[in-house]
């Protein structure tokens, strides 16, 4: 039982905090917001040089073999700076899906490249009719003479337009044509039949919706051997939620710090806002919720390798609780900034929106309380 | 006690429905639905104002001698409810509901004859110059100064959060003409032609990405003294009258019910993956609906008191708080209903005249901006914190 | 559209307020709490003399033909005084069930007696396994040669021990022995086979659990002709919830008044509690919720005769919303009274408990939001 | 970073389990489950204290030279968690966790030699004389006065909310020995034999119907000066030390988890009509469980900091607030789980020794009284309002 950071972890945190503080200022964010790519390839290169892209990849595949705690340290720093580089998509999700499902050849072909910053990935899984159900996929993969043919539509593909390859989930048709288990397919950008509707993502970065119309892929586009991919998807998404939780904690801490500062300086009726007991108590509640969120993100990271039930409960619990805290913290930060809070003049708005996006991603708070209840055997939840 | 309307009132209801059916164009309706704001763009809103004016309904709250329709409180209720149900555009409230009543109450006959018809017809578009940087909730501390110079005032200073200043040709403003003992005493209420030299506006984008509010700068702006409403130094009184007038006049429940219905329809459709099947969504819809029911009854109690000539009393001051909270709950529900499609930001405006296909279905576009912009409900017009201060003092006598 | 009181209604309210204020003081309540009956028959007689027991009974049966608004006026006054007389059980529920379901002979036999204060009723319907589902009844009524035989168990029978007759719901066995529709049976107190476990009821009055073991009843014990009683039960319970809502409003208003007074007088750190902005805002919220509850109780009363769907939604909406408001108001009243609030020294505790009982009776807030959603066609609620 | 315990710690865990299995009688367990209070009746609580003392575990937080077991923070965690899981009675915290540490920190060797063994053995039962009518949250304004008379103090005044004063044979109290410039300066910390002439107690029934707290009156009560702990006028400092000591010592998450499990088991049983099938109940159970998870992690972070010799810092002051809120949520859940059976009031005490059959199943009896009595969690020991004042000032620097 030791919740203190190792020396390596402390160093990682310090370097991440420093790099983010020096690089991701409001000026930079404004530029990134207008960039069609949504992030800076030059900075991505620096991430690679700092070893961050190699962090969770196994040493056998050119990585550093780090875990959820290290990812969390980086993500929290990224949250503080509203970093929009596709770290989650490429490293936390993409690389992990390849590591979980891929054949050794597929791992060798992708993971070292990711580690050195030469390959970006995106994950196209959600569909509109699925809402937040990871098990619901209508996109189909039909076997052809020399490979696969994919048809369907995906939404909420993070960083899709910037990805060199998109990992697309599809239901593999059975011999009798009925749809069967899920498979994951590596689809290179620009493959014919692939249509992206790219958009600026709430809170920074890009996203897209994706149409697949008779997308032809070679046989080895399928990750692994055709085992149902859903358990691996659940594993990776549980860990991604832990990472997102840490990012949210960084955002919330920044909102708390900024709001504390603002209420001390801003005067109304001849005295600082922070002289109002109602505002003091509100800020006490905000601080308390930031602390609770921090505990839950840490817990989800520490449970990232537990058995699926415990891991899922920790991940859903964290996502649900942090989502609830995030709403409160974000809404109060805006409220306490008054009229300035509801503009794009201050950074507050950008942080607010990133937290809103956080709550929606991979299922909102209500969804994850329900999943938590179901995983806890409360059957009718 | 009963909740039903009389035969005459039912007939009036039908007249309103017929009028709306004949006057509200599909374009107006679509534009209103796709506007993530309580303010319609002027081209849409003023088209509706002209239709209302043609029917003699341009200013429901005004006395008949100034062009009001002479409605009973029940008729106003019916009118507002039907308008909300049909989804009509919003007219220029800063004209019809704000400066109009002040001019009627305190303006000179010349001012009344000049300005009121132009509000009715939609010829003038007004904005409100109240808040300043540093003087938001603490409005009486405002610093924009009007110095007398012959028959003019010379105005210097700045106003902020000025809704539609970039569309308006006129502004009514509170300015400091004197340093009274109490801050409130040196304030005057003045009408300003927005084309006067020395006025510049700077857009401020809202958190939802809309250009709705502005900062307005006054640099030696010369305004005739004749543009002052009422007495010099009494502007605070007129400004407060306006707020009271405004408070009694709105019927929020019908609009909230319509907003909830819009979200509810989305939740029932494939475009959101039938979000309504999520029990959290279904229950929260009932919670919001019940909250609207309670608000409606409170509004009806006020209406009934007005109808019988009574003073509705303190209850009306609780309404603003509830309305803003329910609005936020409904917009929040919208965000949860559209789920991950809410990640897509569409920066172009207006949504009803995009020249490209949006990334997500059109009807989903306003949902997140409405939630984001709606954070202002508990801030603008006296923050919820200020409202609770007022309720504690004025309603509870603490 | 007129929400002002008629002159008669104003008079009724004034006389109820006055009578309650003069009669139901803390001294009286302490006595009633130790009374095995739970209420005072002398006062019940006065209720009859004031015409209150005749209020909602039709003129044809010795009543005054009043409606839900009049009931609400009385109940609000009763709430202010924490009245524990069995008005709800006998008049609002009992008489209404007889009026809805009974034959003309049954009405003639009971309603005039109720009106003159000569008969008290109770309603035994809830069963432990049913939770809040009015449609769930396991108690059985079997046909015998000369009547009926009832078996089963009931809980939460309000005022059961003081009732001259208990109306018991039971499922009438079909010809093939399978259980069929619900019937209501008039069971006189003391009928062999009837076992009452009487208890003091939370917040005042008495309640009991009831066991029926081979209870033999004559043929005319069944109210009416054997039509399924569930729709009538729903009608009566919807109206009872409107009445309870009005009572809750009276309780909440009293708690608000008392708490306002207390926070003005009680000093801490050299100034009254009410000088604290946090407490001022809290009280503003309490006042707002009392007002909302008032609106909802009124609405449910005005909709008491609407078609079943609209009536049910108004009643469930009111029960749900008032229940939520009641919890907040009650908990804040105790909180703001500090240590004194959590004792039996002040009246606050009794009012608090009556609101807690209100929320539980006929289904709590969550249950009624769910019913509201279901009645609104939100199918999966 | 990891959450697992070492092999030594696992072995200790097993030792604790074995001890509990061998010492906790079914009667103790049942009595604890049926007591709607955080305080066990003394016959139950002190039986457990004796068992602990026999094992050498009578005062886990004390230094080893005074009879403490010399545990690491992790061992204390394990001990508390296992005790919570097993549902052991509560010992006399006013003795072991409150006055004990003060006597250890500031008492004379004579006081230490006399009182500490009697706490460990369970021979003495202590109550705490802090609050007075009018001096609750504002404790420093207390008025009970101790006037020096030779080798005695003569005490006059009254204390209120005195838990188990009717069971206790000793009280530690804050009394005013001087009118200092600051209110805090004239307060002394004194140990009082409850059998001293002039002491009377009046029971105060809690809202849940329990006799737990009292008002205690002092009428010329003569207490030897030798019973004062530490210096005259320094009582406020010792009292604060006690509160800090107390704050770091509790591990609340394990008990909350157990309380939730009790409610959860009821919800899954026929005795509540399987309340768990109500989705509202199921979701709120998950909400409470997740809140407890968060609290547990926060407590573990504190533990881990203590373990490595660091100061856990401000986070510990947030814990009291969360614990009280979560406790209330869990007791509230209990009320909803038992539904209409919650209407039945059972006035007799204790529930585990009723001499009649209760109207509702025995295991449902404590649920509503626990909720009712639990309203005090956010009031006693510094109300939530006071806690937030403190957090704003001490944690946030406002």
pLDDT tens-place string over residues A109-148: 999 999 999 999 999 999 999 999 999 999 999 999 999 9
Tell me what pLDDT residue A145 has. 94
Distance CA B278, CA B373 (A): 26
Q: Find which of D214, D281, D338, D340 to mutate to test the C interface (most C CBs within 10 Å of its CB).
A: D340
Question: Which residues of chain A does B275 touch, with a Cβ-Cβ cutoff of 8 Å?
Answer: 131
Residues in A closer than 8 angstroms to C277, CB to CB, are: 276-278
Cα torsion A282, A288, A289, A291 to 10°: value is: 150
Chain A CB contacts of B373 below 8 Å = 342
Structure tokens at D226: 């030798």
Q: Is the pLDDT score of B162 beyond 50?
A: yes
CB pairs under 8 A between A and D: 138
Whole-number pLDDT of residue D232: 95
Of D270, D359, D363, the C-alpha closest to D34 is: D363
Select the residue of D276, D318, D389 nearest A288 (Cβ to Cβ). Answer: D318
Q: How far apart are the first and last CA of chain D?
A: 33
Q: Which residue has the higher pLDDT, A253 or C174?
A: A253
Q: Residue range D71-83: average pLDDT?
A: 93
**CB-CB neighbors (< 8 A) of B6 in chain C:** 1
Contacts of C10 (CB under 8 A, 6+ apart): none
Residues D166-186 have pLDDT tens digits of: 999 999 999 999 987 888 889
Query: In chain C, which residues have their Cβ closer than 8 Å to the Cβ of A277?
Result: 276-278
HSE-CB at B397 with a 13 A cutoff on CA atoms is 6
Quick check: pTM over 0.90? yes
pLDDT at A381: 45
To the query of whether residue B80 is one of the catalytic residues in this protein, the response is: no
Contact B339 A131 (CB under 8 A): yes
Partnered with residue A82 across adjacent β-strands are none
- Phi/psi of residue C140, each to 5°? -115, 150
Residues belonging to chain A with any Cβ–Cβ distance to chain C shorter than 8 Å: 276-278, 281
* Residue D5 DSSP symbol: P
Show residues of chain A in contact with D282, CB under 8 Å. Answer: 373, 378, 380-381
Say yes or no to pLDDT of D249 above 60.
no
Cα(A338)–Cα(B185) distance, rounded to whole angstroms?
A: 26
* B380 shares contact with chain A (CB less than 8 Å): yes
Q: Do the chains contact at D343 and C352, CB–CB below 8 Å?
A: no
Interface check for C3 against chain D (CB to CB < 8 A): the answer is no
**CA–CA min distance A281, chain C (Å):** 8
Residue B89 to chain C, least CA–CA distance (Å):
27
D358-376 burial, b for 16+ CB within 10 Å, e for fewer?
ebbebbbbbbbbbbbbbbb
CA distance to partner chain A, nearest, from residue D337 (Å): 14
Tokens of D168: 């206790």
Positive or negative, the Cα torsion across C24, C27, C30, C34?
negative
ipTM comes to 0.96
CA distances from A50 to A116, A355, D331 (A): 10, 27, 51
B307 contacts in chain C (CB < 8 Å): 1-2
Sorted by sequence, the CB contacts under 8 Å of residue B221 that are 6+ apart come out as B154, B155, B156, B192, B196, B197, B198, B199
B 311-340 near A (Cβ less than 8 A): 335-336, 339-340
Interchain proximity D343–C361, CB inside 8 Å: yes
pLDDT exceeds 50 at position B177: yes
Tell whether D285 is within 8 A of chain C (Cβ). Answer: no
> C123: distance to nearest CA of chain A, Å?
31
Q: Name the pLDDT band for D247 (thresholds 50, 70, 90).
A: low
Residues 55-94 of B with CB under 8 A from C: 74, 77
For an interface test with A, which of C131, C271, C278 has the most A Cβ atoms less than 10 Å from its Cβ? C278
Whether B5 and chain A come into contact, CB under 8 Å, resolves to no
Of the partner residues C130, C345, C366, the one whose CB lies closest to the CB of residue D204: C345
Structure tokens at C246: 């009005």
Cβ-nearest to D273 among C128, C356, C357: C128
> Pick the catalytic residue: B232, B246, B325, B362?
B246
Is B343 near chain A, with CB under 8 Å? yes
3-class SS of residue C123: strand
- What separation in angstroms does the CA of B91 have from each of B95, B131, B164, B170? 9, 22, 12, 15
Pairwise CB contact (< 8 Å): D290 & A302: no
Nearest CB neighbour to D207, from listed C200, C342, C366? C342
Distance, in angstroms, between D344 CA and closest chain C CA?
5
Q: How far away is chain B from the Cα of C327, in angstroms, using its nearest Cα?
A: 16
Mean pLDDT for C6-23 is 96
| A343 to B378: CB separation less than 8 angstroms, yes or no | no
The verdict on D272 touching C (C-beta cutoff 8 Å) is yes
Partner-chain residue, chosen from D282, D283, D304, that has the shortest CB–CB distance to A3: D304
Q: How far is CA D101 from CA C372, D67, D242, in A?
A: 56, 12, 7
| Distance between D370 CA and the closest CA of chain A, angstroms | 24
Rounded to whole angstroms, how far apart are CA atoms A287 and A252? 9
Nearest chain B residue (CA) to C292 = B294
Contact state of D273 with C361 under an 8 Å Cβ cutoff:
no
Q: What is the pLDDT of residues D10-68, one digit of tens each?
A: 999 999 999 999 999 999 999 999 999 989 999 999 999 999 999 999 999 899 999 99
Residue D95 has pLDDT above 80, yes or no: yes
Residue partners of B379: CB distance under 8 A and separation at least 6: A335, A338, A339, A341, A342
Residues 259-278 of chain A with CB under 8 A from chain D are: 260, 263-264, 274, 277
Print burial letters for C229-242: b (CB count within 10 Å at least 16), e (below 16): beebbbbbbbbbbb
Among D184, D342, D344, D381, which would you mutate to test the C interface (most chain C Cβ atoms within 10 Å of its Cβ)?
Answer: D344
Give the pLDDT of residue D240: 81
The rounded radius of gyration (Å) of the Cα atoms in chain C is: 21
CA distances from A172 to A137, A184, A215, A228 (A): 10, 9, 14, 9
- Neighbors of chain B by Cβ distance (3+ pairs < 8 Å): A, C
The half-sphere exposure of A175 on its side-chain side, counting CA atoms within 13 A, is 0
Cβ-based neighbour number of residue A128 at 10 Å: 21
At D313 the pLDDT is 67
Nearest to B204 among A209, A331, A345 (CB): A345
Predicted confidence (pLDDT) per residue in D183-234, tens digit: 888 999 999 999 999 999 999 999 999 999 999 999 999 999 999 999 999 9
* Contact predicate A348/A203, CB 8 Å: no
| Yes or no, beta carbons of C381 and B318 under 8 Å apart | no
Q: Name the band, by pLDDT with cuts 50, 70 and 90, for residue B246.
A: low
- Touching subunits for chain C (3+ Cβ pairs under 8 A): A, B, D
pLDDT band at residue C381 using 50, 70 and 90 as cut-offs: very low
Percentage of residues of chain C with pLDDT beyond 90: 90
- Both tokens of B208, joined, read 């939802």
- Tokens, residue D382: 């510094």
**Average pLDDT of the residues in C23-49:** 90
Q: Low-confidence residues of chain A, pLDDT below 50?
A: 381
Residues 155-184 of chain C whose Cβ lies under 8 A from any Cβ of chain D: 155-156
Q: Contact D282/A373, CB-based, under 8 Å?
A: yes
- Residue B279 DSSP code: H
Residue B7's Cβ-count burial label (10 Å; 0-12, 13-18, 19+) is exposed
Contacts of A259 (CB under 8 A, 6+ apart): A283, A286, A332, A333, A336, A337, A348
Cα–Cα distance between D215 and C292 in angstroms, integer? Answer: 39
């Amino acid at each position: 039982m030791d919740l203190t950071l190792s020396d390596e972890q402390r160093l990682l945190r310090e370097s991440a905090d420093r790099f983010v503080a020096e690089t991701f200022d409001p000026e930079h964010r404004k530029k990134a917001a207008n960039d069609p790519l949504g992030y800076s390839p030059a900075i991505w290169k620096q991430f690679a040089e700092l070893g961050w892209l190699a962090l969770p990849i196994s040493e056998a595949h050119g990585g550093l073999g780090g875990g959820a705690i290290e990812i969390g340290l980086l993500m929290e720093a990224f949250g503080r700076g509203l970093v929009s580089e596709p770290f989650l998509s490429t490293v936390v999700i993409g690389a992990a899906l390849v590591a979980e499902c891929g054949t050794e050849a597929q791992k060798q072909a992708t993971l070292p490249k990711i580690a050195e910053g030469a390959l970006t990935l995106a994950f196209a899984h959600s569909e509109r009719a699925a809402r937040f159900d990871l098990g619901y996929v209508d996109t189909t993969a039909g076997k052809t003479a020399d490979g696969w043919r994919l048809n369907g539509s995906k939404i909420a593909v993070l960083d899709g337009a910037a990805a060199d390859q998109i990992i697309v989930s599809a239901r593999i048709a059975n011999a009798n044509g009925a749809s069967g288990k899920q498979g994951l397919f590596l689809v290179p950008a620009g493959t014919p039949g692939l249509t992206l509707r790219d958009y600026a993502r709430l809170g920074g970065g890009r996203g897209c919706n994706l149409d697949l119309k008779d997308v032809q892929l070679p046989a080895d586009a399928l990750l692994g051997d055709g085992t149902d991919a859903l358990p691996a998807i659940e594993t990776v998404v549980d860990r991604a939620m832990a990472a997102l939780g840490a990012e949210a904690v960084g955002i919330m801490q920044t909102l708390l710090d900024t709001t504390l500062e603002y209420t001390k300086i801003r005067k109304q009726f001849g005295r600082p806002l922070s002289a109002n007991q109602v505002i003091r108590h509100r800020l006490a509640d905000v601080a308390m919720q930031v602390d609770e969120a921090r505990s839950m993100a840490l817990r989800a990271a520490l449970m990232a390798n537990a058995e699926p039930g415990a891991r899922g409960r920790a991940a859903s619990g964290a996502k649900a609780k942090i989502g609830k805290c995030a709403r409160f913290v974000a809404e109060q930060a805006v409220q306490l900034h008054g009229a300035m809070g509801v503009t794009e003049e201050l950074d507050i708005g950008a942080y607010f929106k990133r937290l809103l996006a956080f709550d929606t991603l991979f299922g909102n708070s209500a969804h994850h309380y329900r999943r938590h209840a179901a995983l806890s055997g409360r059957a009718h939840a | 006690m009963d909740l039903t309307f009389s035969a005459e009132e039912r007939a009036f209801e039908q007249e309103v429905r017929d009028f709306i059916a004949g006057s509200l164009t599909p374009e107006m309706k679509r534009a209103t639905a796709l506007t993530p704001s309580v303010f319609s763009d002027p081209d849409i809103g003023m088209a509706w104002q002209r239709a209302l004016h043609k029917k003699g309904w341009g200013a429901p709250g005004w006395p008949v001698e100034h062009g009001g329709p002479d409605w009973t409180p029940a008729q106003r209720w019916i009118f507002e409810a039907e308008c909300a149900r049909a989804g009509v555009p919003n007219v220029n409230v800063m004209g019809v509901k704000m400066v109009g009543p002040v001019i009627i109450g305190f303006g000179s006959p010349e001012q009344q004859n000049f300005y009121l018809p132009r509000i009715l017809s939609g010829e003038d578009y007004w904005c409100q110059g109240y808040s300043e940087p540093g003087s938001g909730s603490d409005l009486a501390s405002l610093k924009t100064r009007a110095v007398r110079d012959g028959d003019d005032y010379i105005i210097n200073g700045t106003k902020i959060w000025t809704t539609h200043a970039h569309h308006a040709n006129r502004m009514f403003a509170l300015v400091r003409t004197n340093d009274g003992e109490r801050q409130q005493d040196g304030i005057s209420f003045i009408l300003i032609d927005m084309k006067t030299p020395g006025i510049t506006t700077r857009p401020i984008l809202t958190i939802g990405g809309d250009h709705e509010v502005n900062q307005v700068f006054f640099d030696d702006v010369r305004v005739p003294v004749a543009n002052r409403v009422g007495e010099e130094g009494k502007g605070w009184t007129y400004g407060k009258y306006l707020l009271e007038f405004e408070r009694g006049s709105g019927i929020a429940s019908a609009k909230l019910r319509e907003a909830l219905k819009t979200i509810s329809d989305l939740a029932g459709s494939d475009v959101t993956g039938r979000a309504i099947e999520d029990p959290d969504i279904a229950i929260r819809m009932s919670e919001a609906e019940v909250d609207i029911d309670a608000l409606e009854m409170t509004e009806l109690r006020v209406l009934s008191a007005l109808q019988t000539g009574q003073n509705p009393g303190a209850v009306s001051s609780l309404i603003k708080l509830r309305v803003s909270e329910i609005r936020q709950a409904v917009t929040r529900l919208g965000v949860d209903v559209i789920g991950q499609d809410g990640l897509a930001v569409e920066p172009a405006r207006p949504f009803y005249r995009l020249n490209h296909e949006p990334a997500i279905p059109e009807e989903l576009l306003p949902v997140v901006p409405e939630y984001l912009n709606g954070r202002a409900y508990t801030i603008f017009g006296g923050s919820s914190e200020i409202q609770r201060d007022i309720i504690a003092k004025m309603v509870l006598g603490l």
